[in-house]
Structures are given as C-alpha cells and as structure tokens.
Structure 1
Amino acid sequence: MSETSTRDAVVATADDLFYRRGIQAVGMDELRTAAGVSLKRLYSEFKSKDEIVQAVLARRTGVWQECVSSRVDAAASARDKLLAIYDYLVEWTAEEEFRGCGFVNTFGEIGALNEDVADAVRAHKEGFAAYVRGLAVDAGLGPDVAEQLVLLAEGVQTMAAVTHDPRWADAARAAAATLIDAGLAARG
C-alpha cells in the first residue's frame, strides 16, 4: 500500500468503526487489524488516536459536503436547492447503518475532553450553517429562516437516530418547505 492509500485506508476504517461503535470502544490494535496495517505502520502514519479522530472528522466533513452539495447542485430553483438538503436527509436517515450525526456523536463522546475535537465539530457545524445561509440568501430569504432551516436539519439527524425512525426526515422536509414558502411570501 502506498503512504497515501495506507493513510486513507486507516481513516476510512476508523471512520466506520468509530461511527458504528464509538471512539473509546475501538482500540488501536483493533483498528490496525481492521485496516490491515501493522501497529508500527499505524503509528508512523498517525502519532496518536487523537490525530486519527481529527482525520476522521476532516474526512466526514468532505463526505458531508459532497453528499449535500451534489443534491443541491442538481436542483433547479433556489427553493429546490434548500429542499435538496432535506431530500438528502430523507435518503441518509433511511439507511440501515444510520447512527446519527458523526460530529454530534464525537462531540458527545469526547468533545468535553478534547478541545481540538470540539473545535473541529464547531467548524463543521458553522460551515454547514454558513452554507445554508448562502442558499437562503440566494433564494431571497433572511438569516432568521436560514437558522430555522439549520435547526431542522440538525434536529432530524438526532430524532431519526434516537428513534430509529427515518420519517422524521420527511417531517423536517415538510416543515422546511413551509418555512421557505412563508419566508418567500413575506418578502413578496
């Protein structure tokens, strides 16, 4: 394996294990075995488990942005671009392996103990909020509507994970459509 592919394989494996089982439940020996690398190679790529967690969060940010933006970019109107976020959430929360937001899970598990993790999670969430604000402005909506849309998107991930019921995403999409339409009508 090349250095890049070894690193990528470790991060992808860690992402999967951490998401399914939790960060603290996964030891370095289990991670190296699952990734198919020696412990020596694992530590030559990453100085610590914390460094792996940071790499996983960076990977998750990229995956999230790609999944959401591919749906948004395919939508025709500014309204549909906002609703495309919820279309993605409807699809994602229905996946069998859905366990909620990996950022919230990570923050809840180790964010209070690790300021770097807390900062990475905050940066991701703030980036998503800024993205939604941009889409809302493009649609002719105010920042108040954008904030409400962000709360709906974040809330559905929690409710769908806790209840194991993806219908929360359908409810969030319907609420988002109502908010968008009311905001557009008010600007009228």
Structure 2
Amino acid sequence: MAPVDIESARTRLLDAAEELFYARGIQAVGMDEIRTGAGLSLKRVYALYPAKESLVEAYLQRRDVRWRARLAAATEEVADPDERILAVFDWLGAWFREQGFRGCAWVNGFGELGAVSAVVARQARTHKRAFADHVARLVADAGLPVGLGPQLVLLAEGAIVTAGILGTDAPAAQARTAAAALLHAARGR
C-alpha cells in the first residue's frame, strides 16, 4: 500500500469519523472502528488526533463549515428578502430528505457529551450562534424587526429536532408556514 500524505490521511479520517459519529453517536464509536473505516494505522490516527475529543472537535468544525456554506448558498440565490428568509426552511426540508439524515449533529453531540465535554459544548454553541447570526442578517436585510430573528431560529431548530426524531421532512414545511405568518405579521399584512 502506498503511503498516504498527511492531508489525505486527515480527510480519510474525518470522513470516517463523520460517517460513524453522525450515524451512531460519538460515544458508541471507538477509535479502532474509525481507524478501520479510514484505512489508516492506529499510530497514524493518533499522530493526527492525539485524543478522541480532538477528532470530535475537528469533525464538528468541518461539518459546521460545510453546513453553513450550503445554507448560505441556498439563501443567497434567492433575490426577494422575505423569500430568502423562507428559503432557510426550504433548504432544511431538502436536508431532511437526504439519505442518512439523523437530525442536528451538534444537538446530538451536546445531548451525548455536552455536560462532560467543554469541547462539544463549545462547538454546539458556536454552531447555533452562527446559525442565529445568519438568520439575523437575513432579517436585517429584509428590513424586519430584530426580534423576529430569534423567533425564526426557534422555528428552524424545532423543525430540525422534530425531523430527526420523527424521520420526516414535514416539519420544514410546517415551520415555513409559521415563518411566513410571522413575516406577514411583521409587515402588517
């Protein structure tokens, strides 16, 4: 087998960790299983990430960057400011329909380890604040009251958790309907 450069090894390791952690939970997956999934030696795994917690942190950070980029792309392609806000819920619906959707990786991780892992708690809070900031920018760009942002975030977060538990994309459409009602009320329609 040919040697694997450090970036390729890191990518393979993070790919395996993400697939396993997201599908089964962080605590249920051991480092040996991730090593096997990545096709790397245990020595190489621990050279890249000396502790499981550092691998968990890298997994959540990388997933956060990709998740936020996908959401931003979906909202930026919509011209109308109100429809851009509602596009958040359309994007959520598409995400809920993806193969293997298991809810929010940060909520799942926080539920498992948030009380005992400052790293997981920090990553979850960072992700949730970034999402709230994105929605707040959409609300500001639409010239709507600032207080609408947190209400929309709660609708989205509720949809994410509900979709993950029930295994259906219906919460996205339900939250979108509620969000549209909030937008109409804020506009005085």
Same fold (TM over 0.5): yes
CA distance in 1, matches of 2:134, 2:174: 22
Q: Which residue of 2 aligns with 1:90?
A: 93
Q: Which residue of 2 aligns with 1:79?
A: 82
Alignment of 1:119 with 2:122, yes or no, is yes
Q: Deviations over 1:50-109 (max 9, x none)?
A: 000000110111111111011011101111111111111111112231100000000000
Q: Which residue of 2 aligns with 1:167?
A: 170
Q: Which residue of 2 aligns with 1:130?
A: 133
CA distance in 2, matches of 1:23, 1:135: 33
CA distance in 2, matches of 1:95, 1:131: 22
CA distance in 1, matches of 2:122, 2:28: 22
Root mean square deviation of aligned Cα: 1.1
Any conservation in 2 of the 1:57–1:103 contact (CA below 8 Å)? yes
- Structure 2: which 5+ runs fail to align? none
CA distance in 2, matches of 1:185, 1:9: 52
Alignment of 1:37 with 2:40, yes or no, is yes
Matched residue type, 2:102: R
CA distance in 2, matches of 1:82, 1:137: 10
Matched residue type, 2:8: S
Matched residue type, 1:137: A
Match of 1:47 among 45, 50, 72: 50
Q: Deviations over 1:128-181 (max 9, x none)?
A: 111111110110111211111000111101111111121111101111111112
- Across the two proteins, how many residue pairs are aligned to each other? 186
- Write 1 or 2 for the structure with the bigger share of helix: 1
Matched residue type, 2:40: V
Q: Deviations over 1:21-67 (max 9, x none)?
A: 01111111100000110000001101100000000110111111111
Any conservation in 2 of the 1:159–1:168 contact (CA below 8 Å)? yes
Any conservation in 2 of the 1:103–1:121 contact (CA below 8 Å)? yes
| 3-state SS of 1:112 partner | coil
Matched residue type, 2:168: D
CA distance in 2, matches of 1:78, 1:21: 38
| 3-state SS of 2:111 partner | helix
CA distance in 2, matches of 1:182, 1:100: 30
TM-score under structure 2 length normalisation? 0.95
Q: Which residue of 2 aligns with 1:147?
A: 150
TM-score under structure 1 length normalisation? 0.95
- Structure 1: which 5+ runs fail to align? none
Matched residue type, 2:37: A
Match of 1:60 among 54, 63, 68: 63
